[in-house]
Amino acid sequence: MSSSADAREQALEVAERLAPLGQVVVKRMFSGAGLSIDGVNFAFVIGGTLYFRVDDQSRPAYEAMGLEPFRYDRPGRTVTVGSYYEAPDEVFDDDEVLCDHARTAWQAALTASRARPPKRPGVPRRRTAG
């Protein structure tokens, strides 16, 4: 498995290729690196794989290409994060294709961030007994 330093390096390379979209910021994220534009995370690199944010409109295209959602292991189970899918191989060969996928991912992430209720500072989350 790639280290977080490798993920950061790969994410920086992707960010450089995405220059036509504006300033792409790369930040450490778990054992990988996240990519964002205007404070909105739209992609990440982890374990040597680039993942893009998807929504109900873009997900079917990723599924049709046979691409998988991001998954990680927890004790006793595997967690699937259906809002991020692995990038198609074509993005590594063609900057225009990369920018198209990133633009779509950023739009999906932007829409999702607008749909979330605003955070209320100083109000702790309520936990339910389970």
Contact 86, 35 (CB under 8 A): no
Residues 36-90: tens digit of each pLDDT: 999 999 999 999 999 999 999 999 999 999 999 999 999 999 999 999 999 999 9
Q: How many residues does the chain have?
A: 130
Class of domain 4-112: alpha beta
**Residues 87-113: what's their mean pLDDT?**
95
The helix (H) or strand (E) run that includes residue 13 is helix 4-17
Q: What is the pLDDT of residue 130?
A: 46
Write down the domain spans for the chain.
4-112
Q: Tell me how far CA of residue 44 lies from CA of 66, 68, 102, 129, in angstroms.
A: 19, 14, 11, 33
